Amino acid sequence: MTRPDDSAASPEARVVALLAETFEHGARSGPGARGVVRRLVERATLAVRHRQYHVDVALLQAIHDLERRRSSDLDALRAELRVAFDNLDRVVARFDDVEARAAVAAALADEIARNVQETSEELDRRMDAVSGAVVADRADTAAVRAELERGTEELRDTTRRLAHEIADLRTAAGKAEYVFDEVTARPFMADEAILATTGDDGRPALGFRDGPAPEPLYAGFEALFRGSPELVRERQRPYVELLASSGPVVDLGCGRGELLEMLAGDGVEARGVDVDPAMVDRARARGVDVELGDAVEWLGKQADGSLGAVFSAQVVEHLSTDDLVTLLRTALEKLRPGGLFVAETVNPHSPRALKAFWVDPTHVRPVFPETLLALCRLTGYAEAIARFPGGTGNLVEDLRTQGEYAVVARTPD
């Protein structure tokens, strides 16, 4: 009889034996509590074996299916092998021809191999030569590059040096142009046509052909070389604000009275003194208070501390050294504490102004601002400064470009 654990039996026989054994155990279960427990266990075991039976049946079915497919695949493979052997017979029939062709191909392959070897060796030789040339070229290139870098640096240095030299040349050219302009500058004239004519050859010349001048000597001279009243007022306008709170003001050498006229318009008490009768008449015609007389002498007759400001424009260059010192000391006495002494004159630091200085034959000598400032300090003024009414505020530039300056000195408090 087949047993469930008999591995030689078919799967179907083993399953049947297992079921028979299960039922047999169930029948042998005795009575009592122990028999009941056994029956319960056997029932549970029977259920498990039932499920296992179904699994075995499914596996048996799958095995049968695989065996059928394997048999079919073997048949197909045998058919393919028969076709392959048929083809092989035809190949064998042609083998002799193929072997001959293979011999030729082998010979050709040997020849090609020799040619390839020779070509490879030639290429190696050429590559070695090229490599050597490349190494040499690299060395040459490195040398050339180093030389180029040195040349480039030298070029940069040269460019920088040339840039500095060009800048210096431009500065020198500017200075040369300035010197040329200053040295060749002509004196200022309100109307250059007055002294412009033509020579006998028809070319431009300095001169006149319109007969004698109808104006008084110095008044006409100042009108020509100092400028119109409008121009003088514009030049002296910066002094109006300076003197606005310093009345009474005296304008020594007031000329036509342009400054007095502007001060009066601003309500500042002011009067003038001039030595030229024609100038005094012209100033009075403008409605300003002007006296005829020598400026230094007139100043000496005033009460000490009676003036707020002493002003003069284009006067100190007409005085001798003694008269200039006398003017400074006298003004110091006549000014009240904190009063102003203002003296405008030609700026000799400007070549153009210094050249034109001698146009006026009554000029004694140019007075440098350093000279006038030193005299103010030595005669007792508390402080003094040089100003350039039409300047830029740049001392170096104003010294060489401005035609006039003014020293503004203050008396001790």
Task: Render pLDDT for 346-373 as a digit per residue (tens, 0 to 9).
Answer: 999 999 999 889 888 889 999 999 999 9
266 token code pair:
């601003």
CA distance 333 to 327: 10
Helix (H, G, I), strand (E, B) or coil at 218: helix
Lowest mean pLDDT among 85-89, 181-185, 366-370, 378-382: 181-185
Q: DSSP character for 186?
A: P
Q: How many residues does the chain have?
A: 413
pLDDT at residue 57 is higher than 70: no
From the CB of residue 178, how many other CB atoms can be counted at a distance below 10 Å? 14
H-run or E-run covering 271: strand 270-274
Please tell me the predicted confidence (pLDDT) of residue 69: 79
Give mean pLDDT, residues 43-47: 69
In whole angstroms, give the CA distance from residue 151 to residue 92. Answer: 81
Pairing relation of β-strands 404-410 and 383-387? Answer: antiparallel
| DSSP annotation of 318 | G
Residue pair 387/344 in contact by the 8 Å Cβ criterion: no
Q: What is the pLDDT of residues 236-262, one digit of tens each?
A: 999 999 999 999 999 999 999 999 999
Q: Indicate the average pLDDT of the chain.
A: 82
pLDDT at 8: 63
158 vs 248: CA distance, rounded Å: 67
d(CA 259, CA 238): 10
Kindly report the three-state secondary structure assignment for every residue of 247-264.
CCEEEECCCCCHHHHHHH
More confidently predicted of 273 and 16: 273
In the chain, the amino acid numbered 205 is A
**pLDDT digits 0-9 by tens, 74-124:** 778 778 778 767 776 675 566 566 566 767 667 777 877 787 788 778 878
* Inter-residue contact 324 to 363 (CB < 8 Å): no
